[in-house]
Structure 1
Amino acid sequence: MAHSAATVEIPVETKVEPSLLSDYATLFKFRVSTMVIITAAAGLYLGDLRSGLSPFHPESLYALAGITIVTAGSSALNQALERRSDARMPRTARRPMVTGRISLPHGLILGFLAIFLGSLWLAIETNLLTGTLTLLTATSYVAIYTPLKRITSLNTFIGAFPGALPPLIGWTAARGLIEWPAVALFAMIFVWQFPHFMAIGWMYRDEYRHGGIRLAATQQPITWAARSTVFQALFYAVLMLPVALWPSFLHLTGMPYTIAATILTLGYLWYTIKFASILRDPSSPDSRVQARNLLKASVIYLPLLLGAMILNAQGRVWF
């Protein structure tokens, strides 16, 4: 049946542009930054307890504020450097620096100011070691890891170093020096990252390849990419067990943490073993399902592990 033009309503799709506040949340990678702050807070908390201080006293909160500011600045500079590759990937194509909602000078000024002021704040409010480590972390993330993503798949290994430093920085903010418990915290985050990143890389391998990002998952042929991805994920998932138990040997935690860490890490390993099933048919849609399951397991595992450590810090049974 025909309708007259006067009686037909043609729906018009309207796109609501994000607000400046939401653009800043994207620019500063709010979700990723939250995980950084959680790991740094764990290091601060444990360092305060080791010093006999009340956890999260005002000085600790000042330190967390500085770490947060530097993390935000690093994310902004990362997106400034990656705006062209981001434009070629659907999941990042709407980022504010890609679309021009935040200009390049705007993003660069925010990034550099945040890193400089945040590091200076930490050097003044905590100690010079913490300020220096934070500045080195931001510099290595932006100036070394980010450019290497388009050059070599080794960028994942190199990027794991700045990615694992936040809990160590939290510890030095509380204690003023690097000690073995801080190294153990660093090692935990360092090793945890690999199954986590292998899962992300496999989930978005087509986008990363199109964006020019070199990862184990973007290698050719796909069978070799699958083998490399699975090998790294499994190797570090197995290594995670002794690393997760290291704090107990350092008497940072007690037996309840040891039991919890063993159970949680075996669960993490189980999901990594299931992820290895992608070797049977790397191009199958099920391979992305297994990668997504491992990713979910990784983001649940780490907060639970740190939570168990905090609850049983210095052998005190609080649960």
Structure 2
Amino acid sequence: MKAWIQDRYCSADELELRDVDRPAPGADQVLVRVHAASVNAKDWHLMHGDPKLMRMSMGLRGPKAKIRGNDFAGRIEAVGSAVKGLHVGDEVFGETDGTFAEYACARAGAVARKPAGVTFEQAAAIPVAGCTALMGLRDVARVRSGQKILINGASGGVGTFAVQLAKVYGLDVTAVCRTRNVDMVRSLGADHVVDYSQEDFTRSEHPYDVVLDLVGNKSLSEFRRVLTPTGTLVLSGGGTYNGGTFFGPMSLFFQGRAVSRFIQHRVLELPAVVTTEYLTALGELAESGKVVPAIDRTYPFAETREAIRYLEVEHARAKVVITV
């Protein structure tokens, strides 16, 4: 099969399309013929080995996982001996390492059936971004109808899902984004939109019950300034952080851990976890039209480098999808 490979930490220009062996599924895995994959900020960070602290687990000189990509949608070609409920021929979507390839193996616990009313491209846009947004609102912040939420980075992959999910949960949504994305974010259902080039949201006189940060571009004290006395701040690690430091936006995590026991505000971290339960819930919302995966651009498989470069240089709004 063909796959996009990196041997060392590098730019998108240095990825190489090579012929490699087709993977074989383990007992708890399925082998999927990839029809579409999407690009995440996570792919960019892994490609560059950034922040440098993460190289302790990713690999010191180069990534242990050589094929980039995490999100996918496709059709099952083989199932492991311990897999139940999934069968050859099923159309599925989910998350695993190495999806910028013609085939990928994924744990059955990170795969769900693709709803018939959702395209492969739409399904591929959901896993990492959609699950992160769902987990952040429902399970980490534990939002309640009627609350006021501010989403910093509302036009990105996670942000576009977060805006829509917040409306599903009955929240009053303030979305922060750049000028060119104001109309798009408003079209997703945001009640109020702040153009960060014109206004500093940390100077707002209207406090929020929840602040979901997807950028990491403000200090902990600035975020806390716009919270109600018992409000919740959810930190994601900074999806649009430009790289170049040892800790990167993870420094906010460390600060939050240090002060959380001494303040009334809840300061929480948002991991990116993809499960069948999350995927199924998001798939149902997508098929019903309550949540629509927002796709900025679609690229053919041969132009994967260009897709990653677009995300990195142009700060793509919503999701960038690759068709395989």
TM-score, with length taken from structure 1:
0.26
Larger relative helix fraction = 1
TM-score, with length taken from structure 2:
0.26
Larger relative strand fraction = 2
Specify the structure having the higher radius of gyration (Cα). 1
Greater relative CO, 1 or 2 (CA 8 Å, sep 6+): 2
